[in-house]
Amino acid sequence: MPILFLLVLMQATTAPAPPDVASPPADATKTASGLASKVLKPGTGKDHPAKEDLVSIDYTGWTTDGKMFDSSSKTGKPAVFPVARVIAGFSEGLQLMVVGEKRRLWIPESLAYKGQEGRPKGMLVFDVELHSMPNRAPSDVKAPPADAKKTASGLAYKQLQPGTGGHHPKPTDQVTVHYTGWTTDGKMFDSSIASPRGEPVTFPLNGVIAGWTEGLQLMVEGEKMRFWIPEKLAYKGERAPYGMLVFDVELLKIQ
């Protein structure tokens, strides 16, 4: 069963339907399956999601009478889910997109819920913005780039997003973070974003691998960094994952 759109009735403020919600306009493109779509904002990426990928998106869905039935705005953060585990038309539409792109999809009922009881009926219309593919490794996953900084211990790091906080955590503090980790061959091995609940994790800073303990003390709340953690600061070859590990970490809160 698709994991998206299970709780579809919105209690919060609804977004107005687009003027072409009733049917695809003349400038929409249509695939052989019957899916129609139109690019609302060009993307900046080059790669398209595949069925085995995870995607981070913002979306809003309407029925053709203009009623909004679901939106990622109800949580205040992008939705993350596997491309293969949504309705067929949504999955197909995502695979047409690149990161940064916003697209409107007109999904016929045959590619949506096929008349299932308790689901939205008829053609569904979605505005979708693709933010990222969290499982995809960054281009510099193999080794720290020239602009990365390095500490005396061998930890390398690079700021991805500046923070808003004013102080750094201490080893005895609890921290709440979102993170994704890859091995240097580009395989994602762990992620709070890609977990079934997609929720951040909280832990004592002195209760994780040494590279994390050191790296997070360099950060402030709101900051996002990429860390290249040598094996001696990770699992020391004692268990998988082996070798240098690469993490994107966003520090959300210092307890």
pTM of the model: 0.75
Say yes or no to pLDDT of 48 above 70: yes
Residue 23 lies in a domain: no
100 pLDDT exceeds 60?
Answer: yes
Catalytic one among 179, 227, 229, 254? 179
The answer to whether position 143 is within a domain reads no
Residue 13, pLDDT score? 59
Residue 185: exposure state from Cβ atoms within 10 A (0-12, 13-18, ≥19): exposed
Domain CATH for 124:
3.10.50.40
Handedness of CA 83, 89, 90, 92 (dihedral sign): positive
The reply to whether 179 belongs to the active site is yes
pLDDT-based confidence at 74, cuts 50/70/90?
confident
Look up 189 and say whether it is catalytic. yes
- Same domain for 187 and 241, yes or no, is yes
Please say whether the beta carbons of 55 and 81 come within 8 A.
Answer: yes
Q: Please tell me which residue in 20, 69, 173, 235 is annotated as part of the active site.
A: 235
Last-in-domain residue among 97, 132, 167 = 132
209 is a catalytic site residue: yes
The domain containing residue 166 runs over which residues?
149-254
Which of 64, 97, 132 delimits the end of a domain?
132
Which residues are paired to 218 by β-bridges?
A: none
* Domains held by the chain: number: 2
- In angstroms, rounded to a whole number, what is the distance separating the alpha carbons of residues 210 and 241? 15
Q: Which of 113, 157, 227, 247 is catalytic?
A: 247
Of residues 58, 140, 203, 209, which has the active-site annotation? Answer: 209
Clarify whether residues 160 and 73 are in a common domain.
no
Q: Which of 205, 151, 150 is nearest to 177 (CA)?
A: 205
